[in-house]
Amino acid sequence: MIVENIRKDLKTRFIGRQIHYFRELSSTQDLAIYMAENSPEAVNGTAILAEHQDKGRGRLKSRWISPNGGIWLSIILKPLMPASKTPLLSFAAALAICETIAEQTSLEPKVKWPNDILINHKKVCGILLDVATKGDRVDYAVIGIGINANVNIDKILPYLDVNKHREVSATSLKNELSGKYLNRPAFLKVLLERFEFYYDRLQKDDGSHIIVNKIKDRLEYNSVTIEQGNRTIEGIIIGLGLDGSLLIKQNDGSSVEVSFGDIRTRE
Ligand code: BTN
């Protein structure tokens, strides 16, 4: 990938103004965390990008397969917000990704709560958020974005553990575009700009409303089964809280709020 093509005419103020690009890396997320902890260079918005990761990390301690052709990106953030609001950073990223995919391709992305992006019911992108706090103050956050862009999907499917955390199969943008390659630098430029827009909104008072409402419109599923440890919650999504939690009407008519756990669609 030619990183100069991302930098050229990038309209952001701070997101992606510093980009560190690697052909090979263990994990952009781990390097971003290391930099945020140790390096004065790790200013707000610093992006780490890799062509290939050999120790890509997913949520819930899963492995993230990251062959050439994908977009493997982590952004270091120094948000001015209470720690309780940080889950919304994932939503800001999810919205930015959905809007960029919709703008740059003919595809219709959806969000699977809390932070997967699906196309035609298959996962095309995962988001990973790591937050370091000091008391209630956020020291730094790293948002990791993995998009199967120009990935040959046969390289990923054999590694999917659908029985563990992933109820959906995977796809890539190239796969959904019948083999057509995505211009990754052009895509990334729009993505960084959109993400900065929503990140700015989040730090304003009305930002959470806007982001939560927009995510609501993109939610993939109505009927859900949530697994939280050994508890299973089944019902219909009736809303999203301003902290990103899910409001579910259970089959017995009672409502329950869920802020973590894995999600499955109803058979
Ligand atoms: C998920 O489990 O769905 C989240 C996947 C996040 C993968 C991205 S790729 C860039 C960054 N570096 C990593 O090691 N993981 C994240």
- Pair 117, 123: CB distance under 8 Å: yes
d(CA 262, CA 145): 18
| Band of pLDDT at residue 164, cut at 50, 70 and 90 | low
Question: 145 CA distance to ligand 1 centroid (A)?
Answer: 6
d(CA 24, CA 2): 15
pLDDT tens for 21-75 read 999 999 999 999 999 999 998 999 999 999 999 999 998 888 999 999 999 999 9
pLDDT tens for 222-238 read 788 888 778 888 999 88
Task: Quote the radius of gyration of the chain (alpha carbons, Å).
Answer: 18
Question: 134 CA distance to ligand 1 centroid (A)?
Answer: 24
267 pLDDT higher than 50: no
More confident residue, 220 or 7: 7
Question: 75 CA distance to ligand 1 centroid (A)?
Answer: 11
Tell me if 29 CB under 6 Å of ligand 1: yes
Question: 74 CA distance to ligand 1 centroid (A)?
Answer: 8
Tokens of 251: 């089959």
Give the model's pLDDT for residue 135: 84
- Pair 218, 224: CB distance under 8 Å: no
d(CA 1, CA 60): 29
Atom of ligand 1 nearest to the CA of 126: 3
- pTM passes above 0.85: yes
d(CA 87, CA 102): 23
Tokens of 228: 């939280």
pLDDT tens for 102-143 read 999 999 999 998 889 999 999 999 999 999 998 888 999 999
Residue closest via CA to ligand 1's atom 7 equals 146
d(CA 78, CA 219): 28
Residue closest via CA to ligand 1's atom 10 equals 72
Pairing mode of beta strands 262-265, 223-228:
antiparallel
